[in-house]
Amino acid sequence: MSDRSPMRLLLSQTAIYGLGIMLNRSVGFILLPVYTGWFAPSELGMFMLVQSLSVFLGFVYMLGMETAFMKKFIDAKSESEKANVYSSSIIFLLISSIAFSGILYLSASTVSDMLGLEDHSRGVFLVKVMSAVMIADTVYRIPMLYFRAQLKARTYSILNLLSFAVNVSMNILLIAVMKLGVEAIFYSYIVSVAVVIIPALFMTRRFLRLRIDIRKTAELLSYGFKFIFIGVFILVIDVSDRFFLQHFYDESIVGIYSANYRLASVMGLVISAFRFAWTPFFLSLDNENEAKNMMPEVVSKFVIIGCAMMLAFGLLTDLLAPVSVFGLSFLNERYLSGIGIVPVVILSYFFSGLYAVFNAAPFITENTRSLLLISGIGFAVNILLNFVLIPPMGMMGAAAATLLTYIAMSAMIISYSQKISRIRLDRSRLAYTAIACLAMFLAGYFGVNRSGLALPFKLGIDLAIISLFVMLAAKTGAFRRQQV
Spatial contact of 21 and 276, defined as CB atoms under 8 Å apart: yes
Q: Which of 248, 338, 241, 255 is nearest to 42 (CA)?
A: 255
Q: Specify which residues 324 forms β-bridges with.
A: 329
Q: Specify which residues 325 forms β-bridges with.
A: 328
| pLDDT confidence of residue 434 | 87
Tell me which of 185 and 360 has the higher pLDDT. 185
d(CA 104, CA 62): 15
Instruction: Characterise 393 by phi-psi region: left (phi > 0), alpha (psi -120 to 50), beta (else).
Output: alpha
**Which of 99-103, 242-246, 266-270 is the least confident region?**
266-270
d(CA 268, CA 262): 9
Q: Is pLDDT at 96 greater than 80 in this prediction?
A: yes
Which amino acid type is present at position 293? N
SS (H, E, C) 26-95: CHHHHCHHHHHHHCCHHHHHHHHHHHHHHHHHHHHHHCCHHHHHHHHHHHCCCHHHHHHHHHHHHHHHHH
| pLDDT confidence of residue 284 | 61
Q: Is pLDDT at 2 greater than 50 in this prediction?
A: no
Spatial contact of 361 and 418, defined as CB atoms under 8 Å apart: no
| pLDDT confidence of residue 1 | 43
**pLDDT tens, position by position, 179-219:** 888 889 999 999 999 998 888 888 888 888 888 888 888 88
- The string of DSSP codes covering 437-462 is HHHHHHIIIIIITTSS--HHHHHHHH
Tell me which of 175 and 333 has the higher pLDDT. 175
Which amino acid type is present at position 11? L
pLDDT band at 10 (very low <50, low <70, confident <90, very high): low
Helix ranges, 284-327 (H): 288-320
Helices 251-283 and 214-248, axial angle in degrees (round to 10): 150
Where b means 16+ CB within 10 Å and e means fewer, 4-14 reads eebeebbbebb
Q: Specify which residues 328 forms β-bridges with.
A: 325
Q: Which of 224, 226, 208 is nearest to 88 (CA)?
A: 208
Q: Return the SS3 of 261.
A: helix
- Dihedral pair phi/psi, residue 324, rounded to 5°: -100, 130
d(CA 164, CA 161): 5
d(CA 156, CA 413): 30
For the chain, what are the domain ranges? 6-425
**pLDDT tens, position by position, 292-328:** 667 777 788 888 888 888 898 889 888 888 777 766 6
pTM score over 0.85: no
Q: Return the SS3 of 314.
A: helix
d(CA 389, CA 398): 7
Instruction: Characterise 423 by phi-psi region: left (phi > 0), alpha (psi -120 to 50), beta (else).
Output: beta
pLDDT band at 351 (very low <50, low <70, confident <90, very high): very high
**pLDDT tens, position by position, 160-184:** 888 888 999 999 999 988 888 888 9
